[in-house]
Structure 1
Amino acid sequence: MHEDEDQPLVSRPLLFVVALEGGERIAEARDETRRFMTEVQAVHGIPVSERAMGLAQLVVSELVTNAHKYASGPCLLNLKVGDGTVEISVWDSDPTLPVPREADPHRVGKHGLEIVMAVCRSFEIRRESGGKRVKATVALDDGGR
Structure 2
Amino acid sequence: MDSDGSRIAQARHLAAAFLTKVRDDHGVPVAAATVETVQLIVSELVTNARKYAPGPALLRLRVTGSVLRVELWDSNPVLPVAKAPDPRRIGQHGLEIVTTLARTLTVEQTQTGKRITADVTLDTDAE
Corresponding residue for 1:111? 93
Whether 1:22 aligns to 2:27 is no
Provide the rounded CA distance (Å) in 1 between the counterparts of 2:125 and 2:85: 25
Match of 1:132 among 92, 110, 114: 114
Whether 1:80 aligns to 2:56 is no
Provide the rounded CA distance (Å) in 1 between the counterparts of 2:64 and 2:91: 33
Alignment of 1:3-82 (within 5 A): 21-23=1-3, 24-82=6-64
Report if aligned partners of 1:22, 1:74 keep a CA contact under 8 Å in 2.
no
Q: CA-atom RMSD, angstroms?
A: 1.4
Give the TM-score taking structure 1 as reference length.
0.82
Q: Give the aligned length.
A: 125
Provide the rounded CA distance (Å) in 2 between the counterparts of 1:112 and 1:144: 27
Partner AA of 1:136 in structure 2: A
Deviation at 1:144, TM superposition (A): 7.5
Provide the rounded CA distance (Å) in 1 between the counterparts of 2:17 and 2:33: 15
Report if aligned partners of 1:126, 1:133 keep a CA contact under 8 Å in 2.
yes
The gaps in structure 1 that reach 5 residues or longer are 1-20
Deviation at 1:60, TM superposition (A): 0.3
Q: Whose Rg is larger?
A: 1
Match of 2:77 among 95, 102, 109: 95
Decide whether aligned partners of structure 1 residues 144 and 97 sit closer, same or farther in structure 2, where only a CA change above 3 A counts.
Answer: farther
Deviation at 1:22, TM superposition (A): 3.1
- Percent identical among aligned pairs is 45
More helix by share: 2
SS at match of 2:51: helix
List per-residue Cα deviations over 1:104-125 (Å, max 9, x = no partner): 1111111110011011100010
Decide whether aligned partners of structure 1 residues 126 and 144 sit closer, same or farther in structure 2, where only a CA change above 3 A counts.
Answer: farther
Tell me which stretches of 4 or more aligned residues in structure 1 moved more than 6 Å: none
List per-residue Cα deviations over 1:120-142 (Å, max 9, x = no partner): 10001000121000110111112
Report if aligned partners of 2:31, 2:125 keep a CA contact under 8 Å in 1.
no
The gaps in structure 2 that reach 5 residues or longer are none
Provide the rounded CA distance (Å) in 1 between the counterparts of 2:111 and 2:100: 28
